[in-house]
Amino acid sequence: MKKVVKFGGSSLASAMQFEKVGNIIRADKSRKYVVPSAPGKRNDKDEKVTDLLYQCYDAAEAGKSYKSILEKIKERYMEIISGLSLNMSLDEEFNVIEKNFLEKAGRDYAASRGEYLNSLIMAEYLGFEFIDAAEVIFFDEDGNFEADLTDQVLSERLNKAETAVIPGFYGSKHDGTIKTFSRGGSDVTGSVVAKAIHADMYENWTDVSGVLVADPRIIKDPEVIETITYRELRELAYMGASVLHEDAIFPVRKEGIPINIRNTNKPEDKGTLIVESTCRQPRYTITGIAGKKGFCSINIEKAMMNAEVGFGRKVLEVFEKYGISFEHMPSGIDTMTVFVHQSEFVEFEQSVIAGIHRAVEPDFVEMESDLALVAVVGRGMKATRGTAGRIFSALAHSRVNVKMIDQGSSELNIIIGVRNSDFEEAIKAIYDIFITTEV
Amino acid sequence: MKKVVKFGGSSLASAMQFEKVGNIIRADKSRKYVVPSAPGKRNDKDEKVTDLLYQCYDAAEAGKSYKSILEKIKERYMEIISGLSLNMSLDEEFNVIEKNFLEKAGRDYAASRGEYLNSLIMAEYLGFEFIDAAEVIFFDEDGNFEADLTDQVLSERLNKAETAVIPGFYGSKHDGTIKTFSRGGSDVTGSVVAKAIHADMYENWTDVSGVLVADPRIIKDPEVIETITYRELRELAYMGASVLHEDAIFPVRKEGIPINIRNTNKPEDKGTLIVESTCRQPRYTITGIAGKKGFCSINIEKAMMNAEVGFGRKVLEVFEKYGISFEHMPSGIDTMTVFVHQSEFVEFEQSVIAGIHRAVEPDFVEMESDLALVAVVGRGMKATRGTAGRIFSALAHSRVNVKMIDQGSSELNIIIGVRNSDFEEAIKAIYDIFITTEV
């Protein structure tokens, strides 16, 4: 049994947090491979070490004084080291970092030091081997992650290590330059490590007890999802639920390795299990609700449109010309509505409308802005008749005007368009009818 | 006040029906312009004169004996003439028709004689002027209706006639050849006549008391729609409700002339008023329900599809290549489903699937056949929250599995995909919840 355990920044923000992490790792012998993030915030007013590193680099680059920021970073680590009563010094490391800063090793190098240093401390604290991510995780010259090469090298290297700490977030190009994943990329490192050693589980430790059914900024203390499929998670994430880095799914999904989202501050909670598929009946009919504001709809009407082969294609071509991806395209009879991101669309609005007129000669084109999309996601919906009825009755009861409904034959989700101003109310209504009522 | 009155075949199938029509016309002095169809069926086992004419022509064309069929046709008219005690003979007309048959005046010519002869009788019976449609309704060399020329000539001609009978269904090309509209085209003639004289009303007299809320083959004695907009009618007609010839809407719609569907056998019924728009609140939340069987869905899944600009366009291009028009294209996250007519699709099925694989490299493509689409149409839906909730609750209660939902921002209709086998049940459930329950 081998588990990869990744800890987020808030789980490693202080010596006290390190101790919690240590207890978690020691409580289960199968937790052999540890992927730390850089120290996060200790409280609301605190700064993340990664942010400090970027500040420090930018100051050095601009020829400004960076010493005080570097000192602040060093203090963060010293506090952890002394808090854990470790017998180690990072002086030499900081000398190298400062030297590299001045030699312009790059912004990614700077940013990566947060994970690098935290992993050195973690390895010392746990008595695990330290493996620098720069030696086992690779990017090509254009900065694209090289999955196959990484898997091969990482796999060979980890097979020689009984236990190890591998810093998250970064790797290296072939010339040795440090390159990072996008922000939150330690999730990806954990996933890549899990794939390489064929882990039985990838535990992703954070400061929440799992994936929530709905956004806690809208629903007070929402329920935690017990089990979610990759597919469902992707849908919720796409619609705005922030859980894992998007690219963290693919490596483990390919290998069928489940991900367990856990809470470092509440290790007794079982968290959320993310799986490829499961026979387990979901606890509620729906798995989760997510949504985003800021869409607009372009409603195109033309008599006898349905008889015109190529109509839809021509309309989409206009959007494509301006690099605008459409989110949904519900169609009635002689009408077709295209939902797009308002921010992407607004610049090209008039060009797109003119283009549509030229392309398909519509009877008229109407736009509506400030719309939101809400996705109700759940594998349980397929087995349960009446889900749509409950959703729309609940929305009507909450006086939410439904502007759009889109449900394909996958039956895994229903997408609902509402006004931005009805967004929170819509999510509350759906949450209440499926979760509060079913509890 | 000027009304154009068009009578369908069953309204003119016998002398008795002619008398009803005569009473209707005489009851309202504004019913000045009459457009008759050919005599229809007098009972279930009867034949329509137009069908007999086609048979007769085909026999003559094939060098077979046609005399007995022509005799049968003549008898139908003689029966009407004698039943109405008219002092007129069609012998000369039938001699000309037979001669033209042998000289191959064409199939359209043959078919048009049903309306032509019926109109001669009607003009005689009413004491109205007879105006041959061949002299006032025009088609170009390719057989396309010439709206502008027709409107001009017809308008001038009708302004000289206080009252007139104009045969439905046909007109002529510039070389004098007779050309018909497609079957049911007398509706179009009536509409063109109404436009030309700027009628206040286009009355379309049939054997039903108006447009029905649902198909009477599925719902026993469905309610009649009191007022319907052109738009709603088009939507119901597109989804299978058969009322008026599709092309009959445009001429009057352009002029804002309302159409009144009436029942010759129940002239006391007010029928259905078809209007451009109306402030009149609809009697029920929904105006009508229609639907069609025989669709199939192609469900395309690909991870991160939503991030690919051009994905939808590329998929539609494949369908377009094979001349297949799509009906609906609901999309989720990383999935997109295309609904097409099974009959159009089945021949190209494998080519389309292969084309999709080449065009967008999907993770997988799945098909489902034997699906039906149901359209719930109604301008009242926009003002009434909860319509969707009621529809889907009713469907769930009737154990109908909803495969697809499509509602754009027009809010005039909701399209629902169900299995063919659930089609009738779905319509019943929706009819019951909105009509039976609201009565």
Chain A residues touching B375 at Cβ < 8 A: 332-333
Give the relative orientation of helices B147-159 and B186-196 as an angle to the nearest 10 degrees: 60
**Ranges A67-76, A303-312, B83-92: which has the least confidence:** A303-312
pLDDT at A137: 97
Q: Which residue has the tokens 């889109």?
A: A406
8 Å CB contact between A104 and A61: yes
Distance CA A318, CA A348 (A): 11
Chain A residues touching B368 at Cβ < 8 A: 409
Chain A residues touching B233 at Cβ < 8 A: none
Residues in the annotated binding site of A? 6-9, 50, 115, 206-207, 217
Per the CB < 8 Å rule, is A330 touching B408?
A: yes
Residues in the annotated binding site of A for ATP? 6-9, 206-207, 217
Per the CB < 8 Å rule, is B394 touching A397?
A: no
Q: Is the pLDDT of residue A246 over 90?
A: no
Instruction: Show the domains of chain A with their CATH numbers.
Output: 3-275 (3.40.1160.10), 288-436 (3.30.2130.10)
To probe the interface with A, which of B313, B338, B374 has the most A CB atoms within 10 Å?
B313
Per the CB < 8 Å rule, is B235 touching A334?
A: yes
8 Å CB contact between A113 and A106: no
Percentage of chain A modeled with pLDDT above 90? 80
Q: What is the H or E stretch that residue A95 is in?
A: helix A91-102
To probe the interface with B, which of A228, A392, A411 has the most B CB atoms within 10 Å?
A392
Write down the H helix ranges in B62-106.
Answer: 67-83, 91-102
Distance CA B208, CA B271 (A): 8
pLDDT at A308: 84
Q: Please give the C-alpha separations between residue B122 and each of A217, B81, B130, B163, B185, in angstroms, as whole numbers.
A: 75, 10, 9, 12, 18
Chain A residues touching B413 at Cβ < 8 A: 332-333
Distance CA A224, CA B351 (A): 45
Q: ipTM value, please give it.
A: 0.79
Residues 6+ apart with CB under 8 A from B262: B203, B204, B205, B206, B209, B210, B269, B271
Query: Distance (Å) from the C-alpha of residue A64 to the closest C-alpha of chain B?
Result: 40
Amino acid at B107: R
Question: Is residue B206 a known part of a binding site?
Answer: yes
pLDDT at B210: 94
Per the CB < 8 Å rule, is A392 touching B386?
A: yes
Q: Is the pLDDT of residue A177 over 70?
A: yes
8 Å CB contact between A312 and A331: yes
Query: Distance (Å) from the C-alpha of residue B92 to the closest C-alpha of chain A?
Result: 44
8 Å CB contact between B417 and B372: yes
pLDDT at B280: 77
Q: Using the 8-state DSSP alphabet, how is residue A168 labeled?
A: S
How does strand B164-165 pair with strand B138-139? unpaired
Distance CA A372, CA A66 (A): 43
- Burial classification of residue B141, based on how many CB atoms lie within 10 Å of its CB (0-12 exposed, 13-18 middle, 19 or more buried): exposed
The stretches in chain B having pLDDT less than 50 are none
Tens of pLDDT along B200-254? Answer: 999 999 999 999 999 999 999 999 999 999 889 988 988 888 888 888 988 998 8
Chain B residues touching A238 at Cβ < 8 A: 306, 333-334
**Mean pLDDT, to the nearest integer, of A203-220?**
95
